[in-house]
Structure 1
């Protein structure tokens, strides 16, 4: 018999959902059969799987060790776990060497992390061999002793918002189930304010709020900006972008942008449609302009998630109530400011 005590990251979900995570290789039919036969019990009693779990509940498995191992599957994939000094290092993943960049921690409490993602690092992996910010987060929490390999079977900490690979800046991460759920809710309902800093081509006199319609080509992972809803059957989303120029330089503008809606490539495509593509943007930018700045050492799009403002909150998240956090701009930003003066 194996007994599992429900922790805070497993509480609040249905028993059958928990079982499907814990015995991920088992089919639903097998799990419900084991519940009916009392080979799986909850707090010493028969259960049907619909019960809502609470912290401290006991789930008992009257199954052989061989059966448990068979249906639990392989241990969760974990990276190097060698990030304590937060310096770039190499990690062995999927038989390949992957560079693990330095990821500064801007803020941390019991439930969330705010990280300053460097340009070039994926927020979430696109293929099995990728090392993304998600894997960095797991490595970091394992090394700090805040999660265990066993715990990853039923709950996996994760980023709550994503940035494009070549966009740097603030990413919100949930360390616990409560943290993940609350941050995802705030982001989904647009109750946190997110501000970006960027360099755009030309003199961008865009002080105010601009709206448009965005249509995405899923096949090519590219979006199109439209001035009005499309007349054809193609699906498009209404987008709202706020811009405020911070400084003008010879041939380019330093801007702060607030996202009132958050759609794929919104800032990059919207600024390009307004005639001011981001410097260094290979997809929506101007190749001639990008080539000029590449000679000055600019290798990626000049877009940085700079500031996040939290709403008033109480209870578990009172410590975040009304707080504002910023992520220092990358060296490439400092370079363009210096070059422009």
Structure 2
């Protein structure tokens, strides 16, 4: 199944689209006189061009390339009559779809879907720097049949340090239906965010978002041709103080799902999230160890039955403690 890249930036990932393992047999190379006097690493690189030089150098360093049965150094010299055995090793991304035992906070599960309350600190799916220990790895352990579903059923994501509700499609049919619901903007996604300052009572931020022109790890409100539509509705719930500075608890409802959407939109209004190290103010960082953001409510039509279903979770303990410090009571679920 192809997922429209314009549907939801939260789907962006850097791991293979389909499940797969690493399976490579040792490669035996017989050197000859034309290789005499050359450096071993250059000879091997020329004979196995399917692997990068940096990867081969790592295998030399780790003893996975043998010359006449013994580990060799890449800087050594070839004599032209050696037998070289290259024992390929998996790169981290080659095993991104490995099942890993993990404690998952499952709020709801049936044959079609699974709703998870993701803790802060958990990466949703493999990518650069996080090829294991992700929610995807835990999903594959809990539900092995997800290996045959693209992205292990994931249809949207939360940032690593955002807590809260996510839905996973356990079958291809369920995943396809959930993707269509997201495209139609009928999935209800409500977040609680604690921001610096006091925004007005309510409003809608309808501002396109694209990659920041100077900082590639950030997103930004933009009118550039490639910027994608982004709409966030917000409502001021309560106000308080941290270090005698005003803070506000706001409820945000997403129509679209752009990367960092709430963080970018609220910062654009001048109300950065407490604890946000990317979009917040550095001198205000010590008050919280992550962005104060939680996906608190999720509503959708069940892919198999069409029944409308909703889930609400309490704030994560650290978020609840932060509100208490600010003198704000957690609103009751309605």
TM range (shorter): 0.5 to 0.7
Counterpart selection for 2:134 from 95, 113, 132: 132
Counterpart selection for 2:295 from 297, 305, 310: 305
Q: Per-residue deviation at 1:129?
A: 3.3
CA distance in 1, matches of 2:162, 2:21: 37
1:338 aligns to 2:333 (yes or no): no
Q: Which moved more, 1:327-336 or 1:274-283?
A: 327-336
Offset from partner CA, 1:265-311 (integer Å, 9 cap, x none) = 111011011010001111101111222x1xxxx21111111101224
Equivalent pairs counted in the alignment come to: 235
Partner of 1:157, secondary structure, is helix
The answer as to whether partners of 1:22 and 1:154 remain within 8 angstroms in 2 is no
Offset from partner CA, 1:203-244 (integer Å, 9 cap, x none) = 122412122222214871311214xx34xxx42223221011
1:326 aligns to 2:312 (yes or no): yes
Q: Per-residue deviation at 1:252?
A: 0.4
> Counterparts in 2 of 1:154-303, with a 5 A limit?
157-217=152-212, 220-226=216-222, 229-230=223-224, 234-250=225-241, 251-291=246-286, 293=287, 298-303=288-293
Distance 1:202 1:77, change over 3 A: closer
Distance 1:238 1:206, change over 3 A: farther
The answer as to whether partners of 2:211 and 2:218 remain within 8 angstroms in 1 is yes
Distance 1:189 1:331, change over 3 A: same
CA distance in 2, matches of 1:284, 1:76: 29
Offset from partner CA, 1:31-52 (integer Å, 9 cap, x none) = xxxxxxxxxxxxxxxxxxxxxx
CA distance in 1, matches of 2:131, 2:321: 33
Higher relative contact order (CA 8 A, sep 6+): 2
**Any gaps of 5 or more consecutive residues in structure 1?**
1-8, 10-19, 26-73, 87-102
Partner of 1:179, secondary structure, is helix
Distance 1:267 1:163, change over 3 A: same
Q: Which moved more, 1:121-130 or 1:198-207?
A: 121-130
The answer as to whether partners of 1:123 and 1:164 remain within 8 angstroms in 2 is yes
The answer as to whether partners of 1:123 and 1:165 remain within 8 angstroms in 2 is yes
From the CA coordinates, give the structure whose radius of gyration is larger.
2
Q: Normalized against structure 2, the TM-score is what?
A: 0.63
Distance 1:340 1:174, change over 3 A: same
CA distance in 1, matches of 2:154, 2:124: 7
**Any gaps of 5 or more consecutive residues in structure 2?**
2-17, 24-93, 328-334
Q: Per-residue deviation at 1:76?
A: 8.9
Q: Normalized against structure 1, the TM-score is what?
A: 0.62
Q: Per-residue deviation at 1:263?
A: 1.1
Partner of 2:207, secondary structure, is strand
Question: 2:73 maps to what in 1?
Answer: none
RMSD (Å), alpha carbons: 2.9
